[in-house]
Amino acid sequence: QTVVTQEPSLTVSPGGTVTLTCGSSTGAVTSGHYANWFQQKPGQAPRALIYSTSYKHSWTPARFSASLLGGKGALTLSGVQPEDEADYYCLLYYRDAWVFGGGTKLTVL
């Protein structure tokens, strides 16, 4: 069974920079995993932030960026705002199935 791994929790100060990662139990994450990143706030449906590793949606704030880093997918927030406090999930493609990471709870403190 494929497992996608994310940091359970991270804390960042307002204005700071933080990187969330997304690893795969099958090996390095590549462009072929079409990594998607989502933000979810309490009581809300997930909101798409990033698709296909690094592409932003029109509504994705410029402070969010994504890439492949050290064999993992990575989501970087630069100049973090209080409203960025949320759960973040990555999603990877494995030929005939998609698998979500367990999510990262980002605290802005």
Partner 1 sequence: EVQLVESGGGLVQPGRSLRLSCAASGVTFDAYAMHWVRQVAGKGLEWVSGINWNSGKIDYADSVKGRFTISRDNAKNSLYLQMNSLRAEDTALYYCVKADCGSNSCNFDLWGQGTLVTVSS
**Rounded Cα distance, 33 and 54, in Å:** 12
Sites for partner 1 among residues 35-74 (CB under 8 A): 36, 38, 40, 45-48, 51-52, 55, 57
92, 74, 72, 88: which is closest to 32 by C-alpha?
92
Q: Are 12 and 77 in contact (CB under 8 A)?
A: yes
Report, in Å, the least distance between residue 2 CB and partner 1.
Answer: 10
CA angle 102–67–42, rounded 5-degree value: 35
Nearer to partner 1 among residue 17 and residue 25 (C-beta): 25
Least spacing, CB of residue 65 vs partner 1, in Å: 16
Residue 69 or 99 having the CB closest to partner 1: 99
Q: Would you count residue 88 as binding partner 1 (CB under 8 A)?
A: no
